Amino acid sequence: MIKRLLSVLLIAMALISCEQEDVTVTYRLDVKLNPATGEKMPETITVNAKNETNGQTYATTADANGAAVFETLSAGFYTVTASSEAFNAVQNIELFDDIQTTMTLIKGKLGKFVIKEVYYSGSTTPAQKGYYSDQFIEIHNNSADTLYADGLSITIHAWYGMSENPYAYMAADSMAIQLCYTVPGNGTDHPVAPGKSFIIAQDAINHQSDELGNPNSPVNLADAEFEFYSTRFTGKDVDHPAPNLIPNLFPFIGSDVTMHNRGGNALALVRIPGDVDDFLKNNMIDAMRAKIPNKWVEDAVEIMPVGKTFKRYDSTLDAGTVVLEAGAKSGLSIRRKVSHILSDGRLSEGRVIYMDTNNSSNDFLHDVTPMPRGHE
């Protein structure tokens, strides 16, 4: 009899525990935002909590004190982001209990696409000549969502930074540019998954093995998603199979889009609403340079020539600078530091998140061997 009672009891306990497993456990997440150093708290701050396990996103707004509450979130790994017009913060939370967390805002927009690597120094041929056709820019989706590269423009600042920036008068709200190329597409032609990147090559070939290449080049760019292509002046550029970027502003006399090999090019990723050519046409500073509002900039990196310190970008775009000390023909590049790599069995397992505090002095490695699609 006792045995029977015991087994009934055990079955009942098993049933209860089964029932309990069906009940979703929720926790409360309290977020407290601090303003950026020396700044006031922005009026409107959106706070999102994205569950990295099932992809669901929950949104709320912070109150005047910077407090935001998510009352009932299911247990899991979350990416919490706070963003206003001019400030942002990001934090990863493991929510397996009620949690109170503090996040400090930084200046600048929330990074979506970020410039992950820029190889502009070029390499040295066996005959000790400079070879620059292997230059590339790699752009990484640093967000938790699929983004589209369509319509994303890459720009080069109008000033090389060798002396005081003559466009400093507009820097607080606009930047002067001398080059703008845009990714083609109808809006959804070029999806980029979270943690993935795409490469814009000067020439999309295997520079190490191509007969027109350089066996000393550090890169094979045959699988680059896009390339720069120019016939405008000399007709010497070769159109390889990779799709070409759309040239919107390219006033140089040369056979291709070649970045300044000693670091004179401050780059930016920009979303220009509407027709890019129309916008530029109506916003020319002179025959060769245009003006673009800082608020359209998705990411910017102030690459500086060796030994120079003449800033061009406002601190909201890039509070610092990055210098490649080895200079031209060194075969070395600048690359964003890895912030963290998501793990612990999330859907996003292995996704690399790069450091983006909008300060390239902190965010970038320099004098590193180019590593297209790689990280360290």
Residue ranges that bind Ca ion, judged by CB under 5 A: 111, 203, 228-229, 237, 239-240, 242, 244, 256, 299, 356, 358
Residue 343: CB minimum distance to Ca ion, A: 24
Residue 290: CB minimum distance to Ca ion, A: 21
Task: Please say which residue, 47 or 300, places its beta carbon nearer to Ca ion.
Answer: 300
Residue 215: CB minimum distance to Ca ion, A: 20
Order of strands across the sheet that contains 76-83: 57-61, 46-51, 76-83, 87-95, 106-107
Angle, vertex CA 329, rays to CA 327 and CA 335, nearest 5: 60
Rounded Cα distance, 265 and 135, in Å? 13
Residue 332: CB minimum distance to Ca ion, A: 21
Task: Please say which residue, 138 or 237, places its beta carbon nearer to Ca ion.
Answer: 237
Task: Please say which residue, 132 or 228, places its beta carbon nearer to Ca ion.
Answer: 228
10 backbone dihedrals φ, ψ, rounded to 5° = -65, -45
Residue 230: CB minimum distance to Ca ion, A: 7
Amino acid at 136: F
Task: Please say which residue, 95 or 103, places its beta carbon nearer to Ca ion.
Answer: 103
List the structure tokens of 86.
Answer: 């001019």
Residue 300: CB minimum distance to Ca ion, A: 6
- Tally of CA atoms within 13 A in the half-sphere of 189 that contains its CB: 11
- Which contiguous run of DSSP H or E holds residue 281? helix 276-281
- DSSP per-residue codes, 196-224: -EEEEESS-SBTTTSTTS-TT-S-B-TT-
Residue 241: CB minimum distance to Ca ion, A: 6
List the structure tokens of 54.
Answer: 């099932």
**Residues of 37-72 as b/e, b for ≥16 C-beta within 10 angstroms?**
eeeebbeebebbbbbbbeeeebebebeeebebebee
Task: Please say which residue, 88 or 178, places its beta carbon nearer to Ca ion.
Answer: 88
Task: Please say which residue, 72 or 362, places its beta carbon nearer to Ca ion.
Answer: 362
Task: Please say which residue, 166 or 251, places its beta carbon nearer to Ca ion.
Answer: 251
List the structure tokens of 195.
Answer: 């943690």
